[in-house]
Amino acid sequence: MLRSLSKHLSDRGPHMAERVQVERSQDGTDNLFEAIYSQRAIRRFKPDPVPDEVLLAILEAATKAPSGSNTQAWAFLIVQDAEKRAAMAGFLRSAFEGDAEFQERFAKVDEIEDPSQRRMLQGARGLLLALDKAPVLLVPCLHHAESPAPQGLLAGSSIYGAIQNLQLAARAHGLGTVLTTFQRSFEVELRDLLGIPDEARPVALIPLGYPDGWFGPTNRNPIESVVHWDAWGNQPGG
């Protein structure tokens, strides 16, 4: 008989999901697990500027992530300039308006019955149409990626850990983020606008700012549904 997760952890103290309780908040935190459990996608931002020293502290935290063979094959573009943010927003709107699949996906967002799904897609639509309302746009790039692979999924393993560090550090400072790949829709224009060289590959576009909304609990599948002990299918409580 398979052991339940709670029984397995009973001699190690309470299950983490039971110990970590978070409330809605706009404040920063120096508690790692509070940051993890309350980090959520923020798609609406206050116009308040973000101090340069805070941005540098967040990006320094990003660089503490592991990378293949410690190559640290990353670079981070910080876009605060209002004209450049407006240009990026315009490129994205043009791509969105010319994509029939996107148009169809968002055409009936306001009619979705599931309130959580409806709010998420309404927020995504608002961000698509007004990207420059975020006071900062971050563009992480793979730069001279060689390990563990220069292309494909494994190449991303050398930067997406840094991106998660970035987002958690932002949360610690009371700043919201959302991980997007919007840059794929206008990479040619983005490279020209920001002078990105050929050996650098933009892998994300992350709006950042003080949230016009809340950090707080997130909805995730229970841990028992995604854990397999020693072999696939051996799940807690199974």
Residue 167 maps to which CATH number? 3.40.109.10
- Mean pLDDT for 213-236 is 89
Rounded distance, CA 129 to CA 121, Å? Answer: 12
115 vs 196, which has greater pLDDT?
A: 196
In a domain, 140, yes or no: yes
- Structural domain count of the chain: 1
In a domain, 198, yes or no: yes
pLDDT at 180: 95
In a domain, 158, yes or no: yes
pLDDT at 6: 44
pLDDT at 7: 47
Q: Give the range of the structural domain holding residue 211, as residue numbers without chain letter.
A: 23-84+132-216
How is residue 151 annotated by DSSP? S
In a domain, 118, yes or no: no
pLDDT digits (tens, 9 = 90+) for 48-68: 999 999 999 999 999 999 988
**Percent over 90 (pLDDT), the chain:** 57
DSSP string, 37-73: HH--B---B--PPPPHHHHHHHHHHHTTS--GGG---
Q: Are 85 and 182 in contact (CB under 8 A)?
A: no
In a domain, 226, yes or no: no
pLDDT at 5: 43
Does residue 140 surpass a pLDDT of 50? yes
Please tell me the pTM assigned to this model: 0.86
Interhelix angle for 100-107 vs 82-97, to 10°?
90
pLDDT digits (tens, 9 = 90+) for 176-222: 999 999 999 999 999 999 999 999 999 999 999 999 999 988 888 88
